[in-house]
Chain A
Amino acid sequence: MSKFKLKKSTHTPEVSTASLPDIVFMLLFFFMTVTVMKDSALKVANELPNATELRKLEKKDRVITVYIGKPESPFDKTLGTEPRIQIDDKFIAMSNFGATILAKMNEKPEHIRPFVTVSLKVDKTASMGLISDVKQELRKIHALKINYTTYEGDAFLNMNAK
């Protein structure tokens, strides 16, 4: 009869789940930091083209985003399949575009107005006609800084769009 006889455990030891919350919190913080809240629901198709020579848009408060692309279901029933402009949550007609951008600019504090950049998020299948019109309108209202927002990737892949 040994005094040091080990007690036989009758069941396998449980895996401690105490660190599970920490792991999940880590994931949570990762997603919280890398993601940006969507500020508007997209109503147009928006598959951006690729480019390699990117420059980051640093200051978010100086950016006005313009989405251009084919209206997505259910809006394609009333608007057709030609590319349309979307700013915030609304479709904007070409005749109204300049005024809308100006209004957006007036919402910004006065000292940053000269540095406002218009970020063009255009679907890669859209035709240049509409984009040139948009650029003409931007010239008229002196919003000259623009950014063709793209994904990072091989630019030659854009060519298969057609």
Chain B
Amino acid sequence: MASREEAPKVNAGSMADIAFLLLIFFLVTTSIETDAGLDRKLPGESDISVPIPQRNILPILINGEDDLMVDGDITDLKDLRALTIAFLDNGGAPEGSENYCDYCKGPRDTESSDNPEKAIVSLLSNRETSYGAYVTVQNELVAAYNTLRNREAQRLFRMDFTEMERQYFANETPEAVKKELKKKIRKIQELYPMKLSEAERN
């Protein structure tokens, strides 16, 4: 006869089955969704257009066949990043002038952009262009900016720009650190402001 002091044991053998049931339910009903992408800010409706000298614009065209033309030449997509970096980092304004860029390491070609602040990338797409190609071009442009911004962030703050941004947007970062980071991010963004103009041609 069992002793009275001992509590009766619950049979836990079916626990695994219950847990499996729950597991399968979650496996079926959920999907690992992506929640990351390329951030963009659209221009407001009433953008006033001011005439800009040709040398400060990098025209990028994508046609309906997803072919790429940069600055008048047919270009492979793989070269786009390097071309964009060369254009942004050119710093063509002569030393002593108010537009002179003292942190640029580019070729200082007077036919190309004066300084990163003046440099504008103009992206022209066609209605038939595939979205995949468009995103690839956007990705390469962001990569070009990030490369330059990382370089300057490393020089000034010994830290990658992308890492600063990641920490700034992370929830676990304390407020004080965020404030400090925001100042640094602003500073880098002023050095290489992202100026992307988009248009569409039929």
A residues at B contact (CB < 8 Å):
17-18, 20-21, 24-25, 27-28, 31-32, 34-38, 48-58, 60, 63, 117, 119-120, 122-129, 131-132, 135, 138-140, 142, 144-152, 155-156, 158-159, 161-162
Contact = CB atoms under 8 A, between A and B. Distances in A.
14 contacts: A21-B12, A24-B16, A24-B19, A25-B19, A51-B139, A55-B36, A123-B131, A129-B128, A131-B134, A142-B45, A144-B44, A148-B135, A161-B130, A162-B66
A21 B78 CA distance: 51
Interface of B: 12-13, 15-16, 19-20, 22-23, 26-27, 29-45, 65-66, 77-78, 125-136, 138-140, 142-143, 146, 162, 165, 169-171, 198, 200
B43 A139 contact: yes
10 tightest A-B contacts by CB? A129-B127, A158-B132, A35-B30, A124-B132, A149-B37, A24-B19, A21-B15, A161-B132, A54-B36, A53-B142
Contact of B36 (A57, A139, A155, A156): A57
A127 B65 CA distance: 11
Contacts of A128: 125-131, 134, 200
A133 to B, nearest CB: 9
Contacts of A148: 37-38, 40, 135, 138
A31 B27 contact: yes
A98 to B, nearest CB: 12
Contacts of A142: 44-45
A132 B127 contact: yes
B47 to A, nearest CB: 10
Contacts of B44: 139, 142, 144
